[in-house]
Amino acid sequence: MKKFLFLFLATFSLTLVAQDKLIEGIVIAKQTITSENAQVQAQLEMMGDMETTTYFKGQKSRTELENPMTGSVITIANGETNEVLTLMDNMMGKVYNYQKTDSLEEKIKDIKVVAGDKTKMFLGYDCKQYTVTIKQEGVEMALDMYTTEAIPVSSQQTAMLGDKLKGFPLFMTMTMNQQGMEMLITTEVTEIKKAKVSDDQFNMTPPEGYTKGPGQ
C-alpha cells in the first residue's frame, strides 16, 4: 500500500504574475490523509500532516517527502529522458526503484484519465480539472485534480501517467481503497518559489548504500 501512497503524493507562495510560466523553482505542498476506519485513522493521526518539497528545472523534478513514521521518499523525474528514480529510506532499509516511463505503457494502459468541465483558481493560476481512475494489484484509486500548464514540468503524479495528462497539479484529492479499507488523501500546494535549482538535484544514479527494490 505504501508504494501507491507515496507514488501519488505530491505538490505552491506566489511572487509571480498570474499565468507567467515558471520553469525553475521550488513548490511546497501539504498532504492530509483521513479514513472512516477508526483504527486506521488513529494510525494516520500519529503520522500527522505531511509536507512535500518539489524542486524543478525545465523538464526535471525532484520531490522530497519525510515523515518520522514513514521515513524518507525522494522521487526524481526527467521528462527529457523519460526516467523516474524513487529512493526510499525507512525502517526496512534503503531501496531504490528505477523505471523508464515509456516502459510503463503496459502498466498504465488501464488508467483512465478524463478532462473535466470545471476550472478553479489556485494561488493566482487557472487550473483545469482532470479525473483519474486506477486499479492495480488490488488497490483502487480515484483522483480529482486541478492542474496548471503554467508550470511546464511533470509532477510525481503526471510523470507516472505518461502523456495522458498535462500540467502540474496544484490541488488534488485521492480516494484509495485496499482490501475494504478506504482512505482520502488531500494534496494542496501552499507555496511556490522562483529560485535557482542545481542540476545535482536531478542525478539519476542511486546513492551509495541503496539496493534495488522488488521487481528491479
Q: How far is CA 22 from the centre of its chain?
A: 18
Instruction: Check pLDDT > 70 for residue 107.
Output: no
Q: Is residue 206 part of a domain?
A: no
E strand or H helix that includes residue 107: helix 105-108
CA atoms within 13 A on the CB side of 120: 14
Please report whether residue 215 resides in a domain.
no
Output 148 or 103, whichever has higher pLDDT.
148
pLDDT higher than 80, residue 52 = yes
- Which cell numbers in the block locate residue 130? 482532470
Stretch 132-151: mean pLDDT = 84
Position 9 scores a pLDDT of 40
Pull the grid cell for residue 112: 483512465
96-to-3, 6, 75, 207, 211 alpha-carbon distances in Å: 12, 13, 10, 9, 6
End-to-end CA distance of the chain: 18
202 part of a folded domain: no
Is residue 212 situated within a structural domain? no
In a domain, 209, yes or no: no
Biggest alpha carbon–alpha carbon distance for the chain: 47
pLDDT exceeds 80 at position 209: yes
Domain assignment present for residue 168? The answer is yes
Q: How many domains does the chain have?
A: 1
What whole-number distance in Å separates Cα of residue 14 and Cα of residue 202?
24
Partnered with residue 84 across adjacent β-strands are 77, 99
| Assigned C-alpha cell, 62 | 525532484
For residue 42, what is the domain's CATH number?
2.50.20
pLDDT for 5 equals 42
Does residue 7 fall inside a structural domain?
yes
Which pTM does this prediction carry? 0.77
Range of the structural domain that residue 55 is part of: 2-196
CB 181 within 8 A of CB 35: yes
Element (H, E) at 138: none
- Residue 107 makes CB contacts below 8 A (sequence gap 6+) with 136
**Which of these, 112, 163, 110, lies nearest to 137 by C-alpha position?**
110
Question: Considering the domain boundaries, does residue 190 fall inside one?
Answer: yes
| pLDDT at 155 (0 to 100) | 62
